[in-house]
């Protein structure tokens, strides 16, 4: 009962993986832009913007090629003007405008991506070395902080997934790693999602693909399982023999109490032998004759000693 309660508590703990609200995370340099920008910097920015607009007007309509940009539905564009983040919100989908020479933009894919975690050598809680690999599904929910807060959100998620996979499975025994994969995957998904949330990454799903054991441990577990099966087979065979002996004893008691039952059994045996295709020759002997012969033999054995007759031998 206590084991079931512990298992239910573990499941409740691991299954508490809910959608976290997408709170506003701090952006590197965004909050300090106005404080760090001086008069000279503001004047230089204004001058460069004016020059860029002037060039656009001069080379119009050829400047529209560099002025208009398009991003598809599944992408967003983060614009930087003179190295500074232009807006807290990303642009797109559809068309947007940039100023040539002073604006740069980076596109962020919002679709769900997946990657394989390379096989990791993990030492479990009960000191068993196993090789575990997994697959992670994630997506970017905030394009701005995924660009400004980390250099490569996808690569950082890959490295963090490898580390957390070793940490999570290393704190559990081999039995948990083999039987409770879903619970461990949920715990790994929750830990990875919390760690990547400041990067604008949402980890949607983690699946443990395979848990490989050393060859010597596989042989030991196979020998243990085989010995267990053999022991169960012997117990079942012994139980069957005991039940058969008990049934034969009851049948013998029934036959002993009813001579007709022996006659029926004799006829049944003849029927079974006659049904077989072979060269067997049958000599049916009535059971009454056998009973008379047995009585006659008993009489000769009991009273023939005084007359000097020898008891006939049965060949």
Average pLDDT score over residue span 143-154: 92
Question: In the structure, what pLDDT confidence band is assigned to residue 111 with cuts at 50, 70 and 90?
Answer: very high
What per-residue confidence (pLDDT) applies to 124? 87
What per-residue confidence (pLDDT) applies to 261? 76
pLDDT > 70? residue 157? yes
Residue 125, SS3? Answer: coil
Question: In the structure, what pLDDT confidence band is assigned to residue 113 with cuts at 50, 70 and 90?
Answer: very high
Q: Inter-axis angle of helices 259-275 and 215-257, to 10 degrees?
A: 130
Average pLDDT score over residue span 14-19: 45
Q: Are β-strands 75-81 and 103-109 bridged in parallel, bridged antiparallel, or unpaired?
A: antiparallel
Gap between the Cα atoms of 29 and 88, Å rounded: 12
> What is the percentage of the chain residues whose pLDDT exceeds 90?
27
What per-residue confidence (pLDDT) applies to 286? 63
pLDDT > 70? residue 15? no
Helix (H) or strand (E) holding 73, with range, is none
Question: In the structure, what pLDDT confidence band is assigned to residue 250 with cuts at 50, 70 and 90?
Answer: confident
Give the least confident one: 99-103, 184-188, 255-259.
255-259
Average pLDDT score over residue span 15-28: 54
What per-residue confidence (pLDDT) applies to 20? 47
Q: Inter-axis angle of helices 181-196 and 2-14, to 10 degrees?
A: 30
**Structure tokens given for 106:** 């980076």
Average pLDDT score over residue span 104-121: 92
> What is the percentage of the chain residues whose pLDDT exceeds 70?
74
Give the least confident one: 46-55, 169-178, 207-216, 256-265.
256-265
Cβ burial 267-303 (10 Å sphere, 16+ → b, else e): eeeeeeeeeeeeeeeeeeeebeeeeeeeeeeeeeeee
Contacts of 145 by beta carbon, 8 Å cutoff, 6+ apart: 25, 27, 198, 199, 200
What per-residue confidence (pLDDT) applies to 309? 40
In this structure, the chain runs to a length of 315
- Cross-strand pairs, 96: 69
pTM tops 0.75, yes or no = no
**How is the chain split into domains, by residue range?**
33-109, 111-214, 215-271
More confident residue, 144 or 255: 144
What per-residue confidence (pLDDT) applies to 310? 44
pLDDT > 60? residue 10? no
User: With the CA atoms of 141, 143, 148 and 149 taken in that order, what torsion angle do they form, in degrees rounded to the nearest 10?
Assistant: 10
pLDDT > 90? residue 75? yes
Say which CATH architecture domain 111-214 belongs to.
2-Layer Sandwich (3.30)
- pLDDT, mean over the chain: 79
More confident residue, 117 or 259: 117
Question: In the structure, what pLDDT confidence band is assigned to residue 304 with cuts at 50, 70 and 90?
Answer: very low
What per-residue confidence (pLDDT) applies to 52? 80
For 175-225, write each residue's pLDDT tens digit.
888 888 889 999 999 999 999 999 999 999 999 988 888 777 767 777 777
């Amino acid at each position: 009962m206590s084991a079931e309660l512990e298992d239910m508590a573990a499941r409740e703990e691991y299954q508490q993986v809910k959608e976290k609200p997408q709170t506003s995370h701090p952006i590197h340099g965004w909050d300090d832009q106005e404080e760090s920008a001086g008069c000279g910097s503001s004047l230089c920015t204004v001058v460069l913007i004016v020059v860029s607009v002037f060039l656009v007007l001069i080379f119009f309509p050829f400047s529209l090629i560099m002025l208009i940009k398009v991003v598809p539905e599944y992408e967003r564009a983060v614009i930087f003007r003179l190295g500074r983040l232009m807006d807290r919100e990303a642009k797109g989908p559809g068309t947007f405008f940039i100023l040539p020479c002073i604006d740069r933009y980076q596109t962020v894919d919002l679709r769900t991506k997946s990657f394989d975690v390379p096989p990791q050598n993990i030492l479990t809680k009960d000191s068993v070395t196993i090789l575990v690999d997994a697959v992670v599904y994630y997506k970017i929910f905030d394009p701005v902080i995924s660009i400004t807060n980390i250099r490569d959100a996808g690569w950082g998620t890959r490295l963090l997934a490898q580390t957390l996979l070793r940490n999570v499975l290393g704190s559990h025994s081999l039995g948990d790693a083999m039987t409770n994969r879903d619970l461990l995957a949920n715990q790994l998904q929750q830990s990875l999602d919390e760690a990547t949330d400041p990067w604008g990454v949402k980890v949607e799903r983690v699946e443990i693909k395979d848990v490989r054991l050393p060859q010597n441990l596989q042989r030991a577990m196979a020998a243990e399982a085989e010995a267990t099966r053999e022991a169960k087979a012997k117990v079942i065979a012994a139980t069957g023999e005991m039940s058969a002996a008990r049934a034969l004893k009851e049948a013998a008691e029934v036959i002993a109490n009813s001579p007709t039952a022996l006659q029926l059994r004799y006829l049944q045996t003849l029927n079974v032998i006659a049904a077989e295709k072979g060269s067997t020759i049958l000599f049916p002997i009535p059971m009454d004759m056998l009973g008379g012969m047995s009585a006659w033999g008993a009489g000769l054995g009991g009273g023939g000693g005084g007359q000097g007759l020898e008891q006939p031998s049965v060949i």
